[in-house]
Structure 1
Amino acid sequence: MLSFIIRKEILVNVLSFRFIITFLLFFILVVGSIQMMSANYKKQLIDYSEAQIGHKEQVDQMQNLGELQAIGLTSEKKPNPLSIFSTGLEKVMSRSITASGWERGGVGGSKYANTLFSLYPPPDLVYIVNIVISLLAILFVFDSISGEKEEGTLKLMLSNPVPRDVILAGKWIGGYISLIVPFLLAVVIGMVISRITSPLSLEGDGWMSLCWILIVALLYISVFFALGVLISTFTRKSGTSLMVALFSWVILVLTIPNIVPIIAREMIATPSTGKMAGELQAIQREEWDRAREESRKLQSDEERQKLWEETSERIQKRWQQVKDFRAKKLEGQATLAMTISRISPSAAFVYATANLAGTGVPGYNRLREYARRFSEEFQEKLRKTREERRKMAEGVSDQAAKDKIMNAPLKYEELPKFNYREATFTAKLKSAQFDILLLVVFNVLFFMGSYAKFLRYDVT
């Protein structure tokens, strides 16, 4: 009997007008999304190659070591191919990493972001599923019980010796299959076209991550499908079901994920940029006043030069402590916002897919750590170079020749390289497992709620 109900639901859905609309929307949105993001990824690869060449030319054109220390060494992070499907933080974190000669390297704003995506959210697959397909899922099934009650078919079905749990399960499975088959078909078509028209290339871990992104997407769609069934069991008219379904979708998908960060900012205050600038000026004034007092006691220019370098290092160290304090506050805000927003399946879905793609918070923190190491390697290279040149210049009496030795420029090939490596698939899956579990819990709760309510549902 279960298989009969499933086949009946699939047939009814396939022959309905909303199935045709759903199929067309899936094809246009999903295929269009993959194509658009693939084209953007192709442009990012071109920008990446050109930027790498530009950074090498910049270093080779520098006239002395001091210029390199002042400007720093810039390198590039290769674009993440999985950002085609889940942009995440890729749109806000820079792929240009600058190692400073004085302070810790950091990650800034993206240089190569599509300006159109600054006005509108990037239309990646996760965005399409999160906003559009979740709405279609809940609209697809909002009248699965209440609608059949109005038509009288539910009463007719229950007049036969068919358990209510079988009817509910059959409706859920049949409706869900009707929804996900065109979705998966659109994804496959989009991937085939993308492989032909763009340089998209995924390795073993990349394909595993993509498969899990699709699994999580199917799990997320089923959450709203189960929610639609739940709403339908609590209402008696399809019009009421529609209003409640739309209200629930707005709260879970649009309201909670967008309002929670504002609440987190109010709960955990961070120093303003103006206050940070004032602290930097105070640190600089204090350290340079002390250095000027000490320089009066020194006799040689070399001792004074060493004092200036030590003072600059102290300033950067103290300034870094101030920045680290603010960074911890911001991390606290982000952690609080993520924790609260997980009451929405939309937030759990976005976090899980971003972590699987390597564009979530763990991926961003990993990039920051690589940037820090890159900066430390660059600073260590400069320090060793200065020490070696001081030893070389000790026996030189001519000041011009000594300055030439000390300030000779370094070649690009002599400098450390930024070699960023994405996290392994196992690490990505581990970072996403909590949010995946939450989606499973949402599914179970919504389905069990609809099951408990349907057992007592009045069909008269």
Structure 2
Amino acid sequence: MLLDLIKKEIAVNVLSLRFIVIFVLFFGLILVSTFILTSDYQRRQQGYQSSRTAHRDALNKIESLEDNRKQVEELIYNQGVYTELQPQPLSIFVRGLEDDLPSQIHISRNLYTSRFGVRKIDEDFYQNPFFSLFTTPDYGYIVNIVASLLALLFVFDAICGEKERGTLKIKLSNAVPRDLVILSKWIGGYLCLILPFLVSLLAGITYVYLTGAVRLGGESLDRLLWLVAISLLYISVFFTLGLLISTLTHRSSTALIVSLFVWICSILVIPNLAPVIGRLVAPVPTLQKILAEKEAVDRETSLRLQRISRTMLEYGNEAERARERIEKEGETRKKKLDAFFQSELRRQIDISKTLSRISPSASFRYAATELAETGTGLFSRFNIGYKRFQERFEEYAEDIDDRLDDDQLGNDWLQVDELPGLEMSPSRIEDVIDSMITVDLLLMVIFNVIFFMAAYVFFLRYDVT
């Protein structure tokens, strides 16, 4: 009997205008999005390769200089070292935070302050501004926003609509168990919803494969398959939620209004309200305040060093040890300020993420961006890699300066392949899956179970008259 009910639901849904509209929307959005973002990825990949070539040519010009001192001055103090961020392959499907990171990093040593200069180099200023004004929705956006809404609209009148038409009363009067009715509506309706979604997605993936923009194999393919699985689970959450709303209402118009209200709260209100609450619950001192305190530490350290220089000039080594101790204390205090700022910031982020996970939209977004390597993990790896880049450049510059002063710098000292660069630790899919299963994936499964059990209980008591 269950199989017959499922076949009936599939037949009714497939022959409806709603199914055709959803198929056209999915196919058009996913295919157009994939087409545009694949071209954009190829453009960014070409820019990455061109930038590397240009910077290597510039280094070769420095290497061609005859005077070592001119080479050091040009490399360390003028041109500096450039490094590029390679575009993530799966950013075709989920852009995430990749656009918020610099495409290139430039570090040089200032002759007077010995500080680092960093700048972001992008070509956005010279491009058509309408590409930024009207951004192309990626696959993650389509699933998060469009698919969730279509799932609710596809099923919002599954129960109350049949009651209004009188078919539900006839069906139950023929001794059809209620549990089989609601189960068949879930299975049949969900299959009809994901069929156009999977066909459209397969067309998009096929296009990416044929263009050769990304080699879909190995870990990239595993990540993509996990992304599809998470998407299907996320869509099922809103489909089950829509079925629950249909069992709680008796008119299709009421169910539609409630569905739209729930969708707005889940997609727009909760994820955007969570960071605001996080700032109120766990405020973080501003970066300007931290910098002001570090400058105060520098001024205090400078005054103590001047006092040491005036009062202990004749003590020799003892005065030198005192100066080193004062400088070390100053650096330790500044590191503590940095650690305090990072600790408070992580606490605020954790609170915001926990609150946002009340909505399944946030769970999907976190899981999708991490699978595509464009989420907060990429941001953290970039910050760690950049700090390591700074440290390595400083060590490299000091070593070159010392060797130059001691006249121990050979003519072949500049080796382009040995220059410090930005090295980011790879993201292992096993770690992503483990963290995702424990939090976001488990939450979406729990949402599904709770919504379906609630729909089942309410339908058992549903008044069909």
The verdict on how the C-alpha distance between 1:112 and 1:125 changes in structure 2, with shifts beyond 3 A counting, is: farther
The verdict on how the C-alpha distance between 1:106 and 1:148 changes in structure 2, with shifts beyond 3 A counting, is: farther
1:248 maps to: 262
Alpha-carbon distance between aligned partners in 2 of 1:163 and 1:445, rounded to the nearest angstrom: 21
Alpha-carbon distance between aligned partners in 1 of 2:325 and 2:394, rounded to the nearest angstrom: 14
The verdict on how the C-alpha distance between 1:452 and 1:5 changes in structure 2, with shifts beyond 3 A counting, is: same
- Structure 1 residues not aligned, in runs of 5+: 300-306, 394-404
Q: Does 1:441 align with 2:446?
A: yes
Per-residue deviation, residues 115-165 of structure 1 (Å, max 9, x unmatched): 656545651101001001100000000000000001010011111222111
Which deviates more from structure 2 when the two are superposed, residues 141-150 or residues 84-93? 84-93
**2:176 is paired with a residue of what secondary structure?**
coil
2:22 maps to: 22
1:414 maps to: 418
Alpha-carbon distance between aligned partners in 2 of 1:125 and 1:233, rounded to the nearest angstrom: 31
Alpha-carbon distance between aligned partners in 2 of 1:191 and 1:456, rounded to the nearest angstrom: 45
Q: What are the residue-to-residue correspondences of 1:268-287 with 2, within 5 Å? A: 268-287=282-301
Which deviates more from structure 2 when the two are superposed, residues 251-260 or residues 319-328? 319-328
Give yes or no for contact 2:209–2:216 (8 Å, CA) kept in 1: no
2:166 maps to: 152
Q: Does 1:266 align with 2:280?
A: yes
Give yes or no for contact 2:160–2:247 (8 Å, CA) kept in 1: yes
Q: Select the residue among 216, 231, 238 that pairs with 2:252.
A: 238
**1:422 is paired with a residue of what secondary structure?**
coil
The Cα shift of 1:243 comes to 0.7
1:302 maps to: none
Q: Does 1:378 align with 2:393?
A: yes
The verdict on how the C-alpha distance between 1:421 and 1:82 changes in structure 2, with shifts beyond 3 A counting, is: farther
Give yes or no for contact 2:31–2:204 (8 Å, CA) kept in 1: yes
The verdict on how the C-alpha distance between 1:204 and 1:175 changes in structure 2, with shifts beyond 3 A counting, is: same
Q: Does 1:87 align with 2:95?
A: yes
The verdict on how the C-alpha distance between 1:207 and 1:9 changes in structure 2, with shifts beyond 3 A counting, is: same
Q: What are the residue-to-residue correspondences of 1:80-229 with 2, within 5 Å? A: 80-98=88-106, 111=122, 118-119=132-133, 123-197=137-211, 199-229=213-243
1:326 maps to: 341
Q: Does 1:427 align with 2:444?
A: no
Alpha-carbon distance between aligned partners in 2 of 1:64 and 1:287, rounded to the nearest angstrom: 34
Alpha-carbon distance between aligned partners in 2 of 1:33 and 1:209, rounded to the nearest angstrom: 19
**1:75 is paired with a residue of what secondary structure?**
strand
Give yes or no for contact 2:96–2:375 (8 Å, CA) kept in 1: yes
Alpha-carbon distance between aligned partners in 1 of 2:305 and 2:287, rounded to the nearest angstrom: 27
Q: What amino acid is aligned across from residue 72 of structure 2 in structure 1?
A: L
Q: Does 1:344 align with 2:359?
A: yes
The verdict on how the C-alpha distance between 1:274 and 1:380 changes in structure 2, with shifts beyond 3 A counting, is: closer
Q: What amino acid is aligned across from residue 176 of structure 1 in structure 2?
A: Y
Alpha-carbon distance between aligned partners in 2 of 1:326 and 1:368, rounded to the nearest angstrom: 14
The Cα shift of 1:88 comes to 1.5
Give yes or no for contact 1:209–1:425 (8 Å, CA) kept in 2: yes
1:456 maps to: 461
Alpha-carbon distance between aligned partners in 2 of 1:269 and 1:134, rounded to the nearest angstrom: 33
Which deviates more from structure 2 when the two are superposed, residues 371-380 or residues 21-30? 371-380
Give yes or no for contact 2:105–2:120 (8 Å, CA) kept in 1: no
Which deviates more from structure 2 when the two are superposed, residues 315-324 or residues 255-264? 315-324
Q: What amino acid is aligned across from residue 148 of structure 1 in structure 2?
A: E
2:54 maps to: 54
Alpha-carbon distance between aligned partners in 2 of 1:312 and 1:58, rounded to the nearest angstrom: 37
The verdict on how the C-alpha distance between 1:328 and 1:61 changes in structure 2, with shifts beyond 3 A counting, is: farther
Q: Select the residue among 75, 91, 94 that pairs with 2:83.
A: 75
Alpha-carbon distance between aligned partners in 2 of 1:314 and 1:298, rounded to the nearest angstrom: 21
The verdict on how the C-alpha distance between 1:28 and 1:226 changes in structure 2, with shifts beyond 3 A counting, is: same
The Cα shift of 1:328 comes to 2.5
The verdict on how the C-alpha distance between 1:455 and 1:30 changes in structure 2, with shifts beyond 3 A counting, is: same
Per-residue deviation, residues 50-106 of structure 1 (Å, max 9, x unmatched): 222333345455634355444653211211011111112212122434556599999
**2:260 is paired with a residue of what secondary structure?**
helix
Per-residue deviation, residues 258-308 of structure 1 (Å, max 9, x unmatched): 111111112222222432443344344344455566677889xxxxxxx99
Give yes or no for contact 1:288–1:311 (8 Å, CA) kept in 2: no
The Cα shift of 1:222 comes to 0.4
The Cα shift of 1:35 comes to 1.3
1:65 maps to: 72
The Cα shift of 1:374 comes to 3.0
The verdict on how the C-alpha distance between 1:198 and 1:39 changes in structure 2, with shifts beyond 3 A counting, is: farther
**1:241 is paired with a residue of what secondary structure?**
helix
Q: What amino acid is aligned across from residue 65 of structure 1 in structure 2?
A: V
Give yes or no for contact 2:107–2:118 (8 Å, CA) kept in 1: no
The verdict on how the C-alpha distance between 1:210 and 1:104 changes in structure 2, with shifts beyond 3 A counting, is: farther
1:363 maps to: 378
The Cα shift of 1:415 comes to 1.2
1:3 maps to: 3
- Structure 2 residues not aligned, in runs of 5+: 63-69, 315-321
TM-score normalised by L of structure 1: 0.86
The Cα shift of 1:356 comes to 1.3
Q: What amino acid is aligned across from residue 231 of structure 2 in structure 1?
A: A
Which deviates more from structure 2 when the two are superposed, residues 348-357 or residues 383-392? 383-392
Q: Select the residue among 354, 370, 374 that pairs with 2:369.
A: 354
Which deviates more from structure 2 when the two are superposed, residues 214-223 or residues 407-416? 407-416
Give yes or no for contact 1:99–1:371 (8 Å, CA) kept in 2: no
Alpha-carbon distance between aligned partners in 2 of 1:451 and 1:7, rounded to the nearest angstrom: 20
Which deviates more from structure 2 when the two are superposed, residues 374-383 or residues 432-441? 374-383
Alpha-carbon distance between aligned partners in 1 of 2:104 and 2:325, rounded to the nearest angstrom: 28
Alpha-carbon distance between aligned partners in 2 of 1:412 and 1:291, rounded to the nearest angstrom: 39
The verdict on how the C-alpha distance between 1:233 and 1:260 changes in structure 2, with shifts beyond 3 A counting, is: same
The verdict on how the C-alpha distance between 1:228 and 1:456 changes in structure 2, with shifts beyond 3 A counting, is: same
Q: What amino acid is aligned across from residue 365 of structure 1 in structure 2?
A: S
Give yes or no for contact 1:194–1:200 (8 Å, CA) kept in 2: yes
Aligned length: 445
